[in-house]
Amino acid sequence: MILDQFKLEGKVAVVTGAGRGIGKAYAEALAEAGADVALVDVIPMDETAAQIQALGRKTMTITADLSQGETAAPVIVKEVVERLGGIDVLVNNAGIIRREPFADHSAKNWNDVISINLSAPFFLSQAVVRQMIEQGRGGKIIHVASMLSFQGGILVPGYAAAKGGIRSLTMLMANELAKHGICVNAIAPGYIATENTRPIRENPDRNKAILDRIPAGRWGETQDLMGPVVFLASAASDYMNGHVIAVDGGWLAR
């Protein structure tokens, strides 16, 4: 049965930024598909963990500062392997955004965004890949890209640069890691109703301009991303590698 290809029983997933919003939805989706899920964030993850446990899946929470990715990544991997037995899926979801005009964009804003949105996925993926290769059973790595992986945007130079980098990193990793049975793809959410996008939604002019361009005529919801993450984490996507899937209500088609 084709639906069996989407099942994740016996798999262990790691999801960063799992305390709320899109990351919470990713973690819950993977658990619903059968995976045990390790949650990583700097904010409380109790609600996410409780919902995963209610599904009968194992979970654990790791409070980690991903801006310290080079030192944090090995610790995260070690804890997950010790408590859940291995790692089969990594979802690099954690991200921040800083809005400031290009000419005035501070070094701090630039460095903060690059460290979380680009450097952290690199270092955590690197540590997880070493574990996956040692396990010898392949794996799935899912980065979280953006509409700004394809477009420039405004007022967010660090974010745009990081998400453009994520797209290229996804392709490079796919090229190098396919021989190990590791598939690397990315999800590019469109305009999703989360805390990060609240300032835009509360600006009547920006909100209208965005909605007028989305063929679906609405902001996305975190639930809209649950199916794609399960697909990319499962055997159903075993011959898919190096792609960025846009989940955007048709935004890029305009």
And the tokens for 45? 């993850």
CB 29 within 8 A of CB 226: yes
Number of C-beta neighbours around residue 155 at 10 A: 14
Among the listed residues 232, 238, 217, the one whose alpha carbon sits nearest the alpha carbon of residue 187: 232
DSSP-based three-state secondary structure for 70: helix
Lateral strand order in the sheet of 244-247: 59-63, 36-41, 12-16, 89-92, 139-144, 182-189, 244-247
- What gap in Å lies between CA 68 and CA 217, rounded to an integer? 39
Q: Active-site residue numbers? A: 159
- What gap in Å lies between CA 3 and CA 172, rounded to an integer? 30
- Strand 59-63 versus strand 36-41 pairing type: parallel
Per-residue pLDDT of the chain (254 residues; tens, 9 = 90+): 899 999 999 999 999 999 999 999 999 999 999 999 999 999 999 999 999 999 999 999 999 999 999 999 999 999 999 999 999 999 999 999 999 999 999 999 999 999 999 999 999 999 999 999 999 999 999 999 999 999 999 999 999 999 999 999 999 999 999 999 999 999 999 999 998 788 889 999 999 999 999 999 999 999 999 999 999 999 999 999 999 999 999 999 99
Element (H, E) at 21: helix 21-32
Domain 2-247 CATH assignment equals 3.40.50.720: yes
Asked whether the CA dihedral 215, 221, 226, 229 is positive or negative, the reply is positive
User: What is the pTM (predicted TM-score) of this model?
Assistant: 0.97
- What gap in Å lies between CA 246 and CA 189, rounded to an integer? 6
